[in-house]
Amino acid sequence: MKTRVLGIVVLILVTLQPLLGQEAPQTLQLPRPDSTGGKPLLQALKERKSSRSFSDRKIPPQVLSNLLWAAFGVNRPDGRRTAPSARNRQEIEILLFMSEGVYLYDAKAHALNRITTGDLRAKTGMQDFVSEAPLNLVYVADMSTTGTQSAEEAAFYVGADCGFIAQNVYLYCASEGLGVVVRGLVDRNELKALVKLAPNQRILLAQTVGYLK
């Protein structure tokens, strides 16, 4: 009897072993973005607003795909994007902070590349709701792309480029009935260290997205 029970236990452990050691995938392929539908632009502008009360309801993969494409996805064969950037440098990167971990949006592949596991949402801001909402976007600028511009000029252009992306997110959220707010209160030094950004990378703004309570 003991031998039989032991055999069953061993069989269960062997069956579960691949799952027990399985980590979150390094790359998550997003569904193809749906660029049709949505509310008319003027209606979305009318309904655009900031919200600060979010439920913990997850954002479905298709909605997340559409959101990221609207924010800064590729919309032309030559690789240009849904938001403009100075001299088409495309220097802004989008980090996604979710309960599952931190991911980098790869617009060319329309996929998410995992940066780290663990829930770091609370580190993306100083408001309580950042740890409750399902998604916090953090906009990071690669300052090495700004060339010979002065620090003042570089800050001006990356700030403008980041603003275009954040407004795209606002309009998409207004169209889809999602809550959203852009935020500047971020401990940039702590967050930069947590996700191991390079010295040339600068955190600009964060933006919380989710369903309203």
Per residue in 111-132, pLDDT (tens digit) is: 999 999 999 999 999 999 999 9
Per residue in 197-211, pLDDT (tens digit) is: 999 999 999 999 999
Contact (CB, 8 A) for 157 and 141? no
Contacting residues for 199 by C-beta, under 8 A, at least 6 apart: none
Kindly state the percentage of the chain with pLDDT values over 70. Answer: 88
Residue 7 has pLDDT above 80, yes or no: no
pLDDT, mean over the chain: 90
* CATH of span 26-210: 3.40.109.10
**DSSP per residue over 97-152, as a string?**
EETTEEEEEETTTTEEEEEEES--GGGG-SSGGGGTSSEEEEEEEEGGGGTT--HH
What's the Cα-to-Cα distance from 210 to each of 58, 170, 180, rounded to whole Å?
8, 12, 7
Residue 15 has pLDDT above 90, yes or no: no
Q: Read off the pTM.
A: 0.87
